[in-house]
Amino acid sequence: MESESKNIIQMLKNVKSMIEVSKERSCWSLEELKEIDITYHNVSEIARQLQAEQPEEPKRFEEITDDPVKEVDESVEVQEEMDEVD
């Protein structure tokens, strides 16, 4: 059932994409656009609801929650001036 839901969600995303592309290409008359927009909204809402029902997949990598702090090695001296190279 889980893989079936993923397939349905992907299909709905594809339908949304097709509607977006067809609107960009001006494939619809103004009268048709109202129905297309309603369909787009319904498809988006169904996809959102199905995604909300999906269990969250475990992350493949550990998530980094804070920035790593770079430590300075104080045993190394920093040369203030650089010598000119001929």
Q: CA triplet 19, 24, 25: central angle to 5 degrees?
A: 100
Does residue 36 lie in a domain region? Answer: yes
What pLDDT sits at residue 67? 63
pLDDT-based confidence at residue 66 (cuts at 50, 70, 90):
low
Q: Does the pLDDT value for residue 65 go beyond 70?
A: no
| Of 74 and 51, more confident | 51
DSSP secondary structure string for all residues of 40-67: HHHHHHHHHHHHHHSPPPPPSSPPP-SP
Does residue 86 lie in a domain region? Answer: no
Domain of residue 32: give its range. Answer: 2-53
What pLDDT sits at residue 4? 86
Number of domains in the chain: 1
Distance CA(62)–CA(59), nearest Å, equals: 7
Q: Does the pLDDT value for residue 22 go beyond 60?
A: yes
What pLDDT sits at residue 27? 93
What pLDDT sits at residue 21? 95
What is the longest distance spanned by two Cα atoms in the chain?
77
